[in-house]
Amino acid sequence: MRVLILGGTTEARRLAAVLAADPGLEVTVSLAGRVAQPRLPAGRLRIGGFGGAAGLADWLRAHLMDAVIDATHPFARSISAHAAEAAAAVHLPLLVLRRPGWAAAPGDRWHRADSLGHAAALLPGLGQRVFLTIGRQETSAFAGLADLWFLARSIDPPEPPLPPRIRVLLDRGPFTVEGERALLRKHNIDIVVAKDSGGTATAAKLTAARELGLPVLLVRRPPLPAGIPVAADPASAVEWLRRLPSAGRR
């Protein structure tokens, strides 16, 4: 049984490790190639885009895939949409593997935004020294906020245009509460901006913000394509896969 995992997340790597150990499965993991030095998963590896939904459908046909698991980042809206369209076009079962979003705890001062643009509009009324933890690709949404100071953390350098008053910190999680607390104090941060990515690797900043009494501006996830089953963890994804016929869906 041939399985394509659209990866790039911790959950994708964990799932690939389990599936690659099964001699009855042939697992290919696709990475978008947007991180210079990604953490590589088990199984066969493919790096780069497919050329939209049509290109992905062609690839699925050419490689005789039996199932697709979308284990991309919760904010990877385009690839999730392409996966749904491509899987439907070639009549393959598709599962979305998404870790749950974060839940507020007592003492949290969370504000919600529907998009990064919405977050940029709300931000001037909430703080002046911003810890921006949204990845490298969409920092431009805040480029017009010249009166605010930003500490932007990402794995690779963020793409321009950037806010005029910004310091870039290149780092990769997981992070500790102690380290995040020290970082927020060192830079006199008065608000944290983050995407609702969920998981434990970067959740320490939320705990540190709570302990310091700082507000957090959290961007809501984009909606998933309608009608696609969703698994919250790799174990549930494995169970879904085991229930499928072994082949013949091409």
Q: What is the CATH number of the domain that holds 51?
A: 3.40.50.720
Sheet holding 94-97, edge to edge: 44-47, 26-31, 2-6, 67-70, 94-97, 230-231
**pTM, rounded to two decimals:** 0.90
Q: What is the pLDDT along the chain (250 residues), one digit of tens a residue?
A: 999 999 989 999 999 999 999 999 999 999 986 665 677 787 899 999 999 999 999 999 999 999 999 999 999 999 999 999 999 999 999 999 999 999 999 999 999 999 999 999 999 999 999 999 999 889 999 999 999 999 999 999 998 999 999 999 999 989 999 999 999 999 999 999 999 999 988 999 999 999 999 999 999 999 999 999 999 999 999 999 999 986 444 4
Q: Do 113 and 50 share a domain, yes or no? A: no
| pLDDT confidence of residue 107 | 97
> What are the residues whose beta carbons fall under 8 Å from the beta carbon of 183, sequence distance 6 or more?
131, 151, 189, 208
Q: Which residue has the tokens 């990402």?
A: 154
Find the Cα–Cα–Cα–Cα dihedral 31, 80, 5, 221, rounded to 10°. 80
The answer to the question of residue 247 being in a domain is no
- Residues 52 and 126 reside in one and the same domain: no
Domain extent at residue 95: 2-100+223-242
Shared domain for 138 and 50, answered yes or no, is no
| Residue 249, domain member (yes or no) | no
228 and 148, same structural domain?
Answer: no
The answer on 157 and 76 residing in a single domain is no
Residue 249, Cβ density class (10 Å: 0-12 exposed, 13-18 middle, ≥19 buried): middle
Model pLDDT, residue 250: 44
Amino acid at 124: P
Q: 96 phi and psi, to 5 degrees?
A: -100, 125
Instruction: Say how many domains are in the chain.
Output: 2
